[in-house]
Structure 1
């Protein structure tokens, strides 16, 4: 089954937070020595916090509807600002602020699964 592509009705606001999530295997030895190694091929995963701060309620609901449809576990494609190739993401956490303007904040985690 092909993955959906997230195309929000407006671009995210400036200030997208990008933080790597690094997974390592660590072996601690009795003399205080530690040996680290990467936990798999994709041991560095990007985690981004996107904000849309000035949008209509209809635009905010469009983003919310997409995220609800992905259920927090179904990967989707999204291209970050400044990148030319989409990456695969999941989104387990988002919040909508109903107002004039409406706002949404969502946290996307890079996804490396090969099948859905």
Structure 2
């Protein structure tokens, strides 16, 4: 069973994108035939930002390091009722602003652990 990412991002600097994978066949008369590409044709990606104390940001960084961008983890996106599988290959090094630390991460949906 995959680990679960339990921290909540700040909403002000976090965004999500849904991409629909589509196969297209272009014909000479300008007609294009389209169909969904596979059973998992909708893929989500999220740019997330976390602002918290040093201990929390360190725990987030340790979690992401432990999964090394290759091992999927469970995370529940906004407006979803069930957790989905994600990987995180890219995140920023933590920065400090007063007592708060900030880390940003890109979560990409995957369909296999």
TM over 0.5: yes
- Counterpart CA distance in 1 for 2:46 and 2:76 is 12
Deviation of 1:96 after TM superposition, in Å, equals: 2.6
- Counterpart CA distance in 2 for 1:20 and 1:98 is 28
Please report the TM-score for the alignment, with normalisation by the length of structure 2: 0.86
1:4 aligned counterpart, secondary structure? coil
Stretches of structure 2 lacking an aligned partner (at least 5 in a row): none
2:49 corresponds to 1:51: yes
TM-superposition CA deviations, 1:17-68 (whole Å, max 9, x none): 121022111111122221111110110111111111x312232121111111
Alignment of 1:61-76 (within 5 A): 61-76=58-73
TM-superposition CA deviations, 1:61-106 (whole Å, max 9, x none): 2111111111112111112244332111111111133213211111
- 2:105 aligned partner: 106
Stretches of structure 1 lacking an aligned partner (at least 5 in a row): none
2:24 corresponds to 1:23: no
Paired residue total: 110
Please report the TM-score for the alignment, with normalisation by the length of structure 1: 0.84
1:62 aligned counterpart, secondary structure? helix
CA contact (8 A) 1:89 1:108 kept: yes
